[in-house]
């Protein structure tokens, strides 16, 4: 983690110096100066000392437009956009006349807080005060109306402007794009007297947004001058639209690449489930050595390691991240916690969590879910209370982890209490995932009748996951009647999923009802679909290998099965008796 103590000390010194200057100004009787006070307010804004700036401003007996503008700019710079709008209302009440520097700042604040009505009132003042032809005011009005989806009003402002530079044209074209009118955007693009690379990129992005990659590529090829952003725009377009081959081809054609180019390729692979390619591209990036990964790259690679179970490579990325200055990065830390938890080493996940000085909601959610996943429910619940004490407000994802923790510990009453607290204490509306957790909690505890009653009382329709959980619990508790009901519902929801038939078949087999087993297998065959074989992954020498149930395509199949037989013998010698029924091809 970077040491920021030096920068913090420097800011403290600067703030102290500012206060000293202000004291001298007051002592010299200059705090009403139209020249000095606005500059001190501006300095306060740069130091994020807007409370101090406001105290100074309120002491000014004759607040002119320069002082007001300094306050507007300071609040806007520090993202207090609603305060800007409120302060402008106060200014109007005092009959202070705004100038051409006032309106753009206040209009941009209206854009930031989606205050279209207040923006329209400002527009009236713009016309009343004679600033209709001002290019900066006009630009802010176009952005206001475009963001508020009032594209006709935006175009009216555009048409009334005496001067329209390439920035204005770009903003108007982007307004049509944001409103989904790509045809009008293209017509205006063709009329533009000047087109810079930003305008070209905007139009190309518009076609990408509506998934028209053919027109996007045509326009891209027509560009007289392409910068690296242009190439990256097309690259991300292909990646986001699922055309990985074209994405890769374009990447190879690029005359120049930056970290966003590599992230576009790597992210394209990740978004399309090509996790092996993610690792290969990352290795190539490091080997070429011309561009270095950033935190987004590392997070994507760690996520791919998680999906592949590539623990050893993930550990290497962990070391690389720390060595290259990302130890204190929250996003990287969150990805590491997730990887270690899902790759089976929860201790490492806890170590990463404990080493993080800064934690966000995702950090807490990830570690709580990880602990719950590993059956360490007590640890998950303990961290939940620690999270609340730290002032972090839980969300719906937090409660999925908490309810899973209760499920693993068999804490039915506590789980019900947490579930009820979602709406009562945190105003969180339970979603289907939360209802599923509650059904699973009751079913695993053997309270199947209550689980069914809970399903019937749900305000939303139970999905296939909930009924499948009930079906699985029916096997544990030998409840055939409920199992048959669950299969009936599952057949309606997933008529082409043979796995559900397999589960009921196993229940019949456990009870020795072989005629019913045969009947279910016929029904399963009649669906016309086969159960997908189980798949496992293992990382050996930095290579992840997939193994499918009863698969004999691997080049070392004989060695693998001989080793498996040896392991089975060792298990038998220790008293373990494998259940052959779950190994049957149809089971």
472-492 residue pLDDT tens: 888 888 888 888 888 888 888
% of the chain residues with pLDDT over 70:
87
User: Of 266-280, 283-297, 364-378, 508-522, where does mean pLDDT reach its minimum?
Assistant: 508-522
Is the pLDDT assigned to residue 4 strictly greater than 50?
Answer: no
Block residue for tokens 């038998």: 572
Confidence (pLDDT) at 563: 83
User: Of 260-269, 330-339, 493-502, where does mean pLDDT reach its minimum?
Assistant: 493-502
| Sequence-separated (6 or more) residues with CB below 8 Å from residue 525 | none
Q: Please, what is the average pLDDT of the chain?
A: 86
pLDDT, mean of residues 408-419? 93
Is the pLDDT assigned to residue 199 strictly greater than 60?
Answer: yes
User: Of 26-35, 60-69, 297-306, 343-352, where does mean pLDDT reach its minimum?
Assistant: 26-35
Helix 448-457 / helix 432-444 crossing angle, nearest 10 deg: 160
Domain span at residue 547 reads: 536-583
Is the pLDDT assigned to residue 6 strictly greater than 60?
Answer: no
Considering only CA atoms, give the Rg of the chain: 32
Rounded CA-CA distance 419/438 in Å is 8
pLDDT, mean of residues 329-350? 96
Helix or strand (DSSP H, E) at 104: helix 102-112
Residue 555 in any domain: the answer is yes
The number of domains in the chain is 1
Is the pLDDT assigned to residue 2 strictly greater than 50?
Answer: no
Residue 551 in any domain: the answer is yes
Residue 434 in any domain: the answer is no
242-284 residue pLDDT tens: 999 999 999 999 999 999 999 999 999 999 999 999 999 999 9
Is the pLDDT assigned to residue 28 strictly greater than 90?
Answer: no
Confidence of residue 138 (pLDDT cuts 50, 70, 90): very high
Confidence (pLDDT) at 50: 86
Residue 545 in any domain: the answer is yes
Confidence (pLDDT) at 11: 44
Is the pLDDT assigned to residue 586 strictly greater than 60?
Answer: no
Confidence (pLDDT) at 131: 86
Confidence of residue 572 (pLDDT cuts 50, 70, 90): confident
Instruction: Supply 578's token pair.
Output: 């494998």
| Sequence-separated (6 or more) residues with CB below 8 Å from residue 382 | none
Confidence of residue 32 (pLDDT cuts 50, 70, 90): low
User: Of 27-36, 66-75, 337-346, where does mean pLDDT reach its minimum?
Assistant: 27-36
User: Of 92-101, 197-206, 447-456, 570-579, where does mean pLDDT reach its minimum?
Assistant: 570-579
Quick count: other Cβ atoms within 10 Å of Cβ 110?
A: 28
CA-based nearest residue to 582, from 531, 538, 516: 531
Confidence (pLDDT) at 542: 60
Confidence (pLDDT) at 275: 94
Confidence (pLDDT) at 549: 65
Residue 558 in any domain: the answer is yes
Confidence (pLDDT) at 585: 40
According to DSSP, residue 548 is labeled E
Highest mean pLDDT out of 327-336, 513-522, 565-574: 327-336
Instruction: Supply 504's token pair.
Output: 């009921």
Confidence (pLDDT) at 472: 86
Sign (positive/negative) of CA torsion 106, 111, 114, 117?
positive
Is the pLDDT assigned to residue 551 strictly greater than 50?
Answer: yes
- Evaluate whether 282 touches 301 at the Cβ level (below 8 Å): yes
Is the pLDDT assigned to residue 504 strictly greater than 90?
Answer: no
pLDDT, mean of residues 85-93? 92
Helix or strand (DSSP H, E) at 147: helix 135-147
Residue 573 in any domain: the answer is yes
Residue 562 in any domain: the answer is yes
Rounded CA-CA distance 327/320 in Å is 10
Rounded CA-CA distance 487/470 in Å is 10
Residue 544 in any domain: the answer is yes
Confidence (pLDDT) at 493: 87
Is the pLDDT assigned to residue 136 strictly greater than 80?
Answer: yes
pLDDT, mean of residues 336-348? 95
Rounded CA-CA distance 350/341 in Å is 9
């Amino acid at each position: 983690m970077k040491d920021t103590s030096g920068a913090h000390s420097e800011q403290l010194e600067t703030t102290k110096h500012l206060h000293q200057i202000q004291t001298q100004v007051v002592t010299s009787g200059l705090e009403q100066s139209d020249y000095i006070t606005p500059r001190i307010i501006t300095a306060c804004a740069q130091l994020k000392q807007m409370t101090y700036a406001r105290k100074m401003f309120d002491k000014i007996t004759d607040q002119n437009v320069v002082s007001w503008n300094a306050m507007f700019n300071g609040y806007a710079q520090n993202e207090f956009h609603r305060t800007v709008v409120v302060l402008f209302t106060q200014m109007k009440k005092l009959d202070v006349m705004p100038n051409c520097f006032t309106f753009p700042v206040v209009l941009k604040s209206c854009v930031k807080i989606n205050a279209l009505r207040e923006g329209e009132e400002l527009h009236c003042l713009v016309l009343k005060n004679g600033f209709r032809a001002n290019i900066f005011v006009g630009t802010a009005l176009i952005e206001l109306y475009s963001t508020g989806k009032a594209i006709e009003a935006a175009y009216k402002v555009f048409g009334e402007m005496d001067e329209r530079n390439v920035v204005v044209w770009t903003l108007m074209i982007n307004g049509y794009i944001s409103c989904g009118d790509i045809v009008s955007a293209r017509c205006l693009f063709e009329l533009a007297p000047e087109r810079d690379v930003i305008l070209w990129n905007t139009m190309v992005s518009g076609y990408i947004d509506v998934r028209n990659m053919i027109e996007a590529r045509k326009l891209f090829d027509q560009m007289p001058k392409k910068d690296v952003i242009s190439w990256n725009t097309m690259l991300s377009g292909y990646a986001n639209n699922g055309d990985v081959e074209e994405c890769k081809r374009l990447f190879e054609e690029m005359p120049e690449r930056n970290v966003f180019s590599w992230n576009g390729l790597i992210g394209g692979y990740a978004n399309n489930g090509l996790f092996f390619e993610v690792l290969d591209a990352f290795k190539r990036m490091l080997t070429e050595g011309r561009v270095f990964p950033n935190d987004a790259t590392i997070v994507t690679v760690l996520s791919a390691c998680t999906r592949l179970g590539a623990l050893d490579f993930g550990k290497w990325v962990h070391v690389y991240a720390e060595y290259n200055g990302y130890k204190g990065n929250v996003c990287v830390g969150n990805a590491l916690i997730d990887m270690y938890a899902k790759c089976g080493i929860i201790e490492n996940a806890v170590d990463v969590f404990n080493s993080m000085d800064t934690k966000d909601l995702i950090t807490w959610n990830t570690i709580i879910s990880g602990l719950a996943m590993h059956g360490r429910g007590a640890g998950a619940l303990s961290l939940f209370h620690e999270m609340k004490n730290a002032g972090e407000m839980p969300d719906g994802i937090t409660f999925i982890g908490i309810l899973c923790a209760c499920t693993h510990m068999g804490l039915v009453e506590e789980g019900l209490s947490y579930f009820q607290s979602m709406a009562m204490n945190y105003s969180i509306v339970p979603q289907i995932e939360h209802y599923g957790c509650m059904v699973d909690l009751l079913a695993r505890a053997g309270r199947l009748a209550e689980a069914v009653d809970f399903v019937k009382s749900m305000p939303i329709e139970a999905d296939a996951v909930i009924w499948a959980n009930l079906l699985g619990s029916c096997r544990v508790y030998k409840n055939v009647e409920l199992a048959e009901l669950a299969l009936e519902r599952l057949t309606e929801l997933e008529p082409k999923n043979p796995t559900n038939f397999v589960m009921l078949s196993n229940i019949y087999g456990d009870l020795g009802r072989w005629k019913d087993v045969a009947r279910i297998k016929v029904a399963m065959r009649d669906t016309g679909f086969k159960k997908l074989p189980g798949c496992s992954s293992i990382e050996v020498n930095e290579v992840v290998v997939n193994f499918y149930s009863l698969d004999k395509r691997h080049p070392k199949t004989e060695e693998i099965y001989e080793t498996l037989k040896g392991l089975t013998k060792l298990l038998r010698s220790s008293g373990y008796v494998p259940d052959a029924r779950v190994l049957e091809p149809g089971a």
